Amino acid sequence: MPETGVSRAQHADISNATAGPGTAASTGAGPATAAARRTALLVTLVLGGLTALPPLSMDMYLPALPAVTDALHAPAATVQLTLTACLAGMALGQVVVGPMSDRWGRRRPLLLGMAVYVLATAICVFAPTAELLIGFRLLQGLAGAAGIVIARAVVRDMYDGVEMAKFFSTLMLISGVAPIVAPLIGGQVLRFTDWRGIFAVLTVVGVVLTLVVWKWLHETLPPEERHTGGIGEALRTMRGLLGDRVFTGYMIAGSLAFAALFAYVSASPFVVQEIYGASPQTFSLLFGINSIGLITVGQINGRLLVGRISLDKALGFGLGVIVLAAVALLLMTSGVFGEVGLVPVAAGLFVLMSAMGLAMPNTNAQALMRTKHAAGSASALLGTSSFLIGAVASPLVGIAGEETAVPMAVVQVVCAVGAMVCFLGLCRPWQRQS
């Protein structure tokens, strides 16, 4: 396959295949249109697989933590660093891979990252100590970050405006399923093998995805649009992006919204089961319902709202709902309404999570819409910012001990209000056409 394989005609075919009613793709049913639609579906599945791989790498491993502690004779705190290392790698790797993809194109850095991911994951299968496992989990995260950052950059290469926002909503459907099913898959794998078998499964998944990328994901950044400078130019590009007030506003708003979501993910097992007395089965059911809410609203955003109302209006509405839900959760958990049970709190969490389906795809779309010249670097900044702010917010949810859900709600209120302030204060949507 040629390294610079995607042509302008192919771009047009894919864009037409995903266009809405009234476009050329929707008015004909010839072989070319059918082929373009198949190509668009394949690209969607490939990019969805790339964005789903990091959550799979993180969450499939969760049920095995106690077994790893016993097998490697390491303290639980040390074994938990294997999760931290992978998350840190995913955050830092995006800063490295994003500028690389702007200079050398999307395919080569992606294939390199996938190859290193497969190698690091395979070594994890045989790791004899917790320290080595931590090191190779860090490498696994660094390499796996290539899929996240380059998938966003490919979307920016291929789409613009409304179509880009629709595509991000579709990716949310695919990648949103991964955190739900990953622990279930990990639990089933542990029925037949030990914790090392989970890394063996991830190795196979990585190999398959690498082959799929090599065969079917063409280059989307033409040579004439690539950057030719080195590290200095990459740093100048990132500094220029951060100097763009509107881009930075969308980046921070999206990251703070992600941090509110991350606070929920970190605290909800403790809040739902320990404070409100729900069973693990009830918690799993509620977690799944909330995830379905996020995915459903994301699809409503992509299929019904985008193209009919401005992205900024949908984003502003989503952030407003997140703020209201977070404030309601704070009032309920702090006792303002007296003793409340699980049902009202679960309802508040459902509303907050569902509104993320409006906030997250639209912040990405609006930020990347300003960065055609450096989509890889912009994608890296968006991803790294989200992971780092989320990682800072996560431990704060347990700061007041195990008997109150107030810290979770406080973190969510602060993040939600901060996201709204950044959106209004930095993006200033009333001054621009969306």
Tokens at 206, concatenated: 């990585």
pLDDT of residue 378: 86
Contact 145, 387 (CB under 8 A): no
Nearest to 55 by CA among 184, 165, 236, 164: 184
For 335, which DSSP code? T
**If you count DSSP H runs as helices and E runs as strands, how many of each does the chain have, helices first?**
16, 0
pLDDT of residue 9: 40
Contact 217, 43 (CB under 8 A): yes
CA separation, residue 331 to residues 177, 326, 416 (Å) = 31, 9, 15
pLDDT of residue 17: 40
Strand partners, 430: none
For 75, which DSSP code? -
Phi/psi of residue 306, each to 5°? -65, 130
What is the identity of the amino acid at 151? A
Tokens at 91, concatenated: 């955050």
pLDDT of residue 177: 72
- Strand, helix or coil at 124? helix
Concatenated DSSP letters for 362-422? HHHHHHHTT-GGGHHHHHHHHHHHHHHHHHHHGGGGGTT-SS-SHHHHHHHHHHHHHHHHH
Cα–Cα distance measured from residue 344 to residue 49, given in angstroms and rounded to the nearest whole number:
35
pLDDT of residue 389: 86
pLDDT digit string, tens, across residues 358-410: 998 899 889 988 877 787 888 888 888 887 887 777 778 777 555 788 988 99
pLDDT digit string, tens, across residues 205-257: 999 999 999 988 888 888 888 877 666 777 788 888 889 999 999 999 999 99
Contact 385, 251 (CB under 8 A): yes
Q: Is the pTM of this model over 0.85?
A: no
In total, the chain counts a number of residues equal to: 434
Cα–Cα distance measured from residue 345 to residue 264, given in angstroms and rounded to the nearest whole number:
12
For 427, which DSSP code? I
Cα–Cα distance measured from residue 101 to residue 107, given in angstroms and rounded to the nearest whole number:
8
List, in sequence order, the alpha helices (H) in 105-160: 107-125, 130-158
Phi/psi of residue 29, each to 5°? -135, 30
pLDDT of residue 402: 58
Q: Which residues of the chain have pLDDT under 70?
A: 1-40, 175-176, 179-180, 229-231, 400-402, 432-434
pLDDT of residue 27: 42
Concatenated DSSP letters for 216-273? H----S-GGGS----HHHHHHHHHHHHH-HHHHHHHHHHHHHHHHHHHHHHHHHHIII
Cα–Cα distance measured from residue 50 to residue 292, given in angstroms and rounded to the nearest whole number:
20
Cα–Cα distance measured from residue 171 to residue 287, given in angstroms and rounded to the nearest whole number:
20
Task: Enumerate residues 6+ apart whose C-beta is below 8 A from 431.
Answer: none
